[in-house]
Structure 1
Amino acid sequence: MTQRAKPGTAGPAARPAVRSMTALLLASHPGPSVVVTVVATVLGASLGYPPGRLAPLALAILLGQLSIGWSNDWLDAARDAQVERTDKPAARGAIRVTTVRTWAFVALVAAILVTLLLGPLATLAHAIAIAGGWAYNLGLKATAISFLPFAISFGLLPAIATLGLEPPRFAAAWVVAAGALLGVAAHVTNVLPDLADDDRTGIRGLPHRMGAVPSGLLAFSCLAAASILIAFGPGWPPRIPLLIGLVIGIGIAVAGVVLLLRRSPTRLLMQFIMGCAIVDVLMLAFAGQSTTV
């Protein structure tokens, strides 16, 4: 007699599909993808996007980030398996590499198509930002300019939001610079825990060449500089909420340096960066229209 699944539970046939979907989600680097999407969404809301325009902005950014995350796990699967990365689903065999590759391209195409709803300039900026992420995954991660794709892609993030306005507006230089600094910080802190594993697989980006401590100091210096730019970029005197955000941002940077000097780099450093990114975007929300020119 065939055993029927209890109501509200997945039957035996459904469990492999659920596991596959879970593995696919984990392969997308969901943490950074969500944080970047939140950043873009808050920026759009602060710029006065109506709901019907804010939703495509959020969806486009999310799809772009998923595409970059999946392309990373697809292209790095062999190297990740070599160093036994258990946090990478494709590397440990939880999902087929070809499946991750397919979804990377699907998300890429979908991201561009959705961004078209925001206009050609926003689409161009988003295409360049996604191209930066893919270029990193395709080989720039192993070069001395490994930081450059992150600087470009994060720097363009606020520009995607401002260029998606009706009519389009350019982002202020200080906003683009702050985004680029956050991108460099995100790159370095994401790489630091994997320096030894990367060395075994021939990856020699800027953090590998600089070493753990100098790279970490660079990352948190960029983090502090981004907070300073956002606090003082809109003009003098700075608003109280921006000063509060600056204090929090500097505090996170100092805590990150202390953690770096006291123990080996861990993924907690990346969480510091993501936390500061949320603080910075809230500061940008207070800045509002000052983020455009």
Structure 2
Amino acid sequence: MANKPLSLLLASHPGPTAAVTVIATGLGIGLGYPPARLLVLAVAILLGQLSIGWSNDWLDAARDRSVLRADKPAARGDIPVHVVRASAFVAVATALLATVVLGWAALAAHAVAIAGGWAYNLGLKRTAFSFVPFAVSFGLLPAIATLGQEHPAWPAPWVLVAGALLGVAAHITNVLPDLADDARTGISGMPHRLGARRSGVLAFGCLAVATALVAFGPGLPVRPLLVAGLAIGLAAAVTGVVLVLRRSPTRLLMQLIMTCAIVDVAMLALAGQSITV
């Protein structure tokens, strides 16, 4: 018999969920959040990401079952779909309630970011605009952190752009391994229309530009730590392009993107760079 708590955890897309939570927590550390407020930020983001992951597995259960997705607990029958659905709604409600502690501006930004993830799951993934929810949600992630400070502030424009570019890269690399299964079930998002190679190159181009913005954003002093971060990001981008051109896409591509996003945030925090206007 399947372990239902473990199956529910696996249905939440734990890898991306954990990565986004770490990124938000890193932003909070860089902004000097007090420990209690940092914990609230981390929990709120975690719950929001859990809701997006669970809504994805709930809404896609029948489609995943039809293509025999072995990595989807709801599709395998390891956990009832109604449990995953209920968990998604509970998680989104508690995520928003937790964000209230950070202020109404942070709540508004987080609500839009979560709505972007749900909109993707509810149907935008089938359109040429499938990248938009990722661009919006990742672009707003730094805003949730900066607006959630005791003295709220908007992030600098280059920070929003870097986040949006990382979101587009994450979307593409998340979809690439599933192009064949998606085609069989009527999914035709932006990466499907561009094809694996072109969209893969686009993803790692977005990563390179985002990392360059983090290292050399307008008004930022040139610091060795940020140059090192840029080198890591560019190396990952080149590696990603080579993998896209030479072999079938795997989950390693998205892992590269999310790892570099965490590195970017760590570099900003360690270098003491201000990400607010």
TM-score by length of 2: 0.98
Give CA deviations for 1:56-111 in whole Å, capped at 9, x if unaligned.
Answer: 00000000000000000000000000000000000010000000000000000000
What displacement does 1:52 show? 1.2
Percentage identity across aligned positions? 70
Equivalence for 2:109? 125
Flag structure 2 segments of 5+ consecutive residues without an equivalent: none
Report the AA paired with residue 241 of structure 1.
L
Equivalence for 2:192? 208
Give CA deviations for 1:155-214 in whole Å, capped at 9, x if unaligned.
Answer: 000000000011110010011100000000000000001001000000000000000000
TM-score by length of 1: 0.93
Give CA deviations for 1:24-53 in whole Å, capped at 9, x if unaligned.
Answer: 000000000001000000100110100011
Report the AA paired with residue 15 of structure 2.
G
1:100 aligned onto 2:84: yes
Whether the aligned pair in 1 keeps the contact of 2:31 and 2:274 (CA below 8 Å) is no
1:166 aligned onto 2:165: no
Equivalence for 1:229? 213
Equivalence for 1:113? 97
Equivalence for 2:170? 186
Tell me, in whole angstroms, the C-alpha distance in 1 between the residues paired with 2:168 and 2:99.
Answer: 25
Tell me, in whole angstroms, the C-alpha distance in 2 between the residues paired with 1:276 and 1:109.
Answer: 30
Give CA deviations for 1:101-152 in whole Å, capped at 9, x if unaligned.
Answer: 0000000000000000000000000000000000000000000000000000
Counterpart secondary structure, 1:291: coil
Equivalence for 1:32? 16
Tell me, in whole angstroms, the C-alpha distance in 2 between the residues paired with 1:149 and 1:46.
Answer: 26
Counterpart secondary structure, 1:248: helix
What displacement does 1:237 show? 4.0
Tell me, in whole angstroms, the C-alpha distance in 1 between the residues paired with 2:102 and 2:63.
Answer: 38
Report the AA paired with residue 106 of structure 2.
A
Tell me, in whole angstroms, the C-alpha distance in 1 between the residues paired with 2:182 and 2:244.
Answer: 19
Equivalence for 2:243? 259
Equivalence for 1:90? 74
What displacement does 1:283 show? 2.0
Whether the aligned pair in 1 keeps the contact of 2:220 and 2:273 (CA below 8 Å) is no
1:270 aligned onto 2:264: no
What displacement does 1:289 show? 5.2
Whether the aligned pair in 2 keeps the contact of 1:28 and 1:66 (CA below 8 Å) is yes
Tell me, in whole angstroms, the C-alpha distance in 1 between the residues paired with 2:88 and 2:53.
Answer: 8
- Across the aligned residues of Structure 1 and Structure 2, the Cα RMSD in angstroms comes to 1.1
Flag structure 1 segments of 5+ consecutive residues without an equivalent: 1-15
Tell me, in whole angstroms, the C-alpha distance in 2 between the residues paired with 1:33 and 1:247.
Answer: 26
Equivalence for 2:65? 81
Q: 1:236 to 1:50 in 2, by over 3 A?
A: closer
Q: After the TM superposition, which of the residue ranges 248-257 and 265-274 deviates more from structure 2? A: 265-274
Report the AA paired with residue 134 of structure 1.
W
Please, which of 271, 274, 277 is the counterpart of residue 290 of structure 1? 274
Query: What is the aligned residue count?
Result: 277
Tell me, in whole angstroms, the C-alpha distance in 1 between the residues paired with 2:110 and 2:45.
Answer: 8
Tell me, in whole angstroms, the C-alpha distance in 2 between the residues paired with 1:288 and 1:163.
Answer: 18
Tell me, in whole angstroms, the C-alpha distance in 2 between the residues paired with 1:288 and 1:124.
Answer: 27
What displacement does 1:285 show? 1.1
